Amino acid sequence: MSLAAIALGSNLGPREATLQAAVRRLRAEPGSRVLTASHFYETAPIDCPPGSGAYLNAVLTLETDRSPGELLALLLRIEAQFGRIRGDRNAPRTLDLDVLLYGQTQSSTLDLILPHPRMHERAFVLVPLAEIASETIHPTRGKTIAELLADLPQAERDEVRLATSPIVANPGRCQGLTCLVTGSSSGIGQAIAAAFTREGAKIATHGRRSGPGRHFAADLRDPSAVDRLAEDAWNAFPEGLDVLVCNAGADTLTGEAAKWSFDRKLEELLAVDLKSTMTLTRTIGAKMKKRGRGLILTVGWDQAETGMAGDSGELFAAVKGAIMAFTRSAALSLAPEVRVNNLAPGWIRTAWGETASKEWQDRVRRETPQGVWGLPEDVAAAAVWLASPDAAFQTGQTLRINGGAVR
């Protein structure tokens, strides 16, 4: 894997939303991993046609298995996907992606010069790059990025203004809802909790260890801990819970658990994934039904119905398939007051995906029609939709979040 620095810019259309989406697209690319990303900075257009809008700029670093030429080709494809039309060199653009550095590589072709030949002259590049890689040494100048920035006139540095604010799409779709998201300390659960919070919900989080805010620590392998979690989370809000997301799942793919026997992994998955989901759904679902409203989301797996060879495939198909079947029955039991739906993620880039081997990265490219990883935010967006009034007629359904993968 090689380390590259990429500059992002936009001065046409919804600039910040475009840059946010471009970062997400790069995060989803198999064989690459975004390590750090700067804030957004606004600068006046330089040598651009009259009337050009101000630029929003950022820089990110990523590891990649692509060569410099292959990386450039990827960036050009992404620019085109975001509506970039290449014409006049300094014309306004929806998205501009440039390779600044590729390790300590020095090379020059008709299409790509490394390091970028003008990066040391541009405050709008050096300011965000210094934020995330100040001690990186420029391959030809022999100075750190911080030193190159200090060499620029103070007036030029002052023209690069911090200009970042959160993007909220369709704010308030979950306004006032009370939610418990299990397994929300990281990954998909964390993204779901964050998305509900942005949309106006009041969140209770859960993990094995203590955490900040309205957080419940519970080991879901222990049935009595599951029972306590159901009661405590319901009582944390004056009118109980409006939404329950049963996201918690045992990690049997990374760390010491990856070395466990098949039987031990099965027991772990049955306890954490299946039994806790059933108990929480039945206990909290009964309270929701009695009160007259509620939504429950369970988490399955898109390949539970199509199958995957190997120990992990057999384990997850059995356990997640059971959750998906249980969801359909629970939806019938709790209707019409409570809706129960299942989220079935496909190749989602969680902790395991960040370090997956080249074989798995290639498999994602091959098996997903869109050719990229899904992100936890993609699953979170589906959860928010199912909790919104727009999905009021959806119950007993499995929603696959997998980039169109079918077999």
Q: What are the tokens at 175? A: 């306004």
How far apart, in whole angstroms, are the C-alpha atoms of residue 407 and residue 404? Answer: 10
Where does residue 142 fall: left (phi above 0), alpha (psi -120 to 50 degrees), or beta otherwise? left
Q: Which position among 27, 66, 96, 349 bears the catalytic label? A: 96
Residues paired with residue 114 on neighbouring β-strands, in sequence order? 107
- Residue 263 is a catalytic residue: no
Q: What is the DSSP string of 240-272?
A: --SEEEE------SSGGGGGS-HHHHHHHHIII
- Residue 24 is a catalytic residue: no
How far apart, in whole angstroms, are the C-alpha atoms of residue 362 and residue 31? Answer: 8
Task: Check if the beta carbon of residue 190 is closer than 8 Å to that of residue 184.
Answer: yes
Task: Check if the beta carbon of residue 175 is closer than 8 Å to that of residue 200.
Answer: yes
Q: Tally Cβ neighbours within 10 Å of residue 69.
A: 13
Helix/strand/coil percentages in the chain, nearest 5: 40, 20, 40
Q: Which position among 25, 27, 98, 273 bears the catalytic label? A: 98
Q: Which position among 25, 84, 173, 339 bears the catalytic label? A: 84
- Residue 390 is a catalytic residue: no
- Residue 151 is a catalytic residue: no
Q: What amino acid positions are annotated as catalytic residues?
A: 84, 93, 96, 98
